[in-house]
Structure 1
């Protein structure tokens, strides 16, 4: 009945149009629209270079050369990391037959964060040659502080240290900075010596 004849040119044109329509049709059909997951800024920090710190206080230690140290009263110090918006607070107290009270206070300070913490890891530290003994606490989760420690010679000296970030505690977002400073705190502990 119908006798339709196509030229090669018309046949190719119709084939291209059909392929184009098929591509548009199939590419527009998506299964499900999902929102993008929240992302965090990746932070890379420079290699650490440690310097020795010593003054009139009865102890000395090595610290990160990129950090800024400031003396407070009674041989206390703040070690600030301006680019990370973080500070390590060091507190010194002489031992006067009150070692048990100082130990309880240091442990109480750490375990006050148990409400927000997912886990608190305790790492004992012993250096018999330098007579430096203590404990390092790693607090995992959205706690106000992620790392704390105390050191003593058990007769005359007692030091506590803790790091605080000037940001809302969100462990996932500050984890690179927290890990960097945790390593600095552990190095400080390992190099601390009494005078």
Structure 2
């Protein structure tokens, strides 16, 4: 009899502990929310044959050959601008700019081209948005077709993972579009 009451007691205690246990629920995946303040733009009067507006939260550096870097320290990204003079080589410059963009086609989901035309300031070009985990997801080129040719691309200091960098990428894309829209050639 004693054995039966011992087994019954153990059975009840085990049932009590199991009944009080909460069901395990999976935790929802956390997503980092990155909000950036509204951009303020200022004219960049460069020593090069062009000017443009830039985001005041960035650091702009110019090398002697008019290679410009626009650094985003908070986002760990840099926009690289390269300047070339046009000397009857516009076809080669255009092919090189397009080749640079389409080298990302291996990792890209898609590439969206948006033509840019500013007849008032004689600035023409193409804006590229590269979808997916490409190394550079925003690129462009600008030219007057006679003297000046500028290419631009953004690179992040991390392994390409578009889902992770999407808010920063979108913010910088807007800055690059502003740069294109405000580009002016010096006379």
In structure 2, do the counterparts of structure 1 residues 72 and 37 end up closer, same or farther at CA, with 3 Å as the change threshold?
farther
Q: Find the aligned partners of 1:111 and 1:173 in 2 and give their Cα distance.
A: 23
Runs (5+) with no aligned partner, structure 2 = 1-14
Q: Distance in 2 between matches of 1:83 and 1:108?
A: 30
Structure 1: stretches of 5+ with no match in the other structure: 1-20
Q: Considering only CA atoms, is the larger Rg found in Structure 1 or Structure 2?
A: 1
Mapping of residues 1-195 of structure 1, within 5 Å: 25=19, 28=22, 35-36=26-27, 38-195=29-186
Could you list the per-position Cα deviations for residues 23-79 of structure 1 after superposition, in whole angstroms to 9, with x for gaps in the alignment?
Answer: x84975x5xx67545433111101110000012211000000000001123111000
Whole-Å separation in 2 of the counterparts to 1:182 and 1:173: 15
C-alpha separation between the residues in 2 aligned to 1:175 and 1:103? Answer: 28
> Is the Cα contact below 8 Å between 1:40 and 1:173 reproduced in 2?
no
**2 CA distance for matches of 1:145 and 1:51?**
25
CA distance in structure 1 between the partners assigned to 2:92 and 2:26 by the alignment: 53
TM-score normalised according to structure 1 size:
0.82
Distance change (3 Å), C-alpha of 1:84 and 1:128: same
Whole-Å separation in 2 of the counterparts to 1:135 and 1:26? 65
After TM superposition, the runs of 4+ consecutive aligned structure 1 residues lying more than 6 A away are none
Partner SS, residue 56 of structure 1: coil
**Cα RMSD (Å) of the superposition?**
1.8
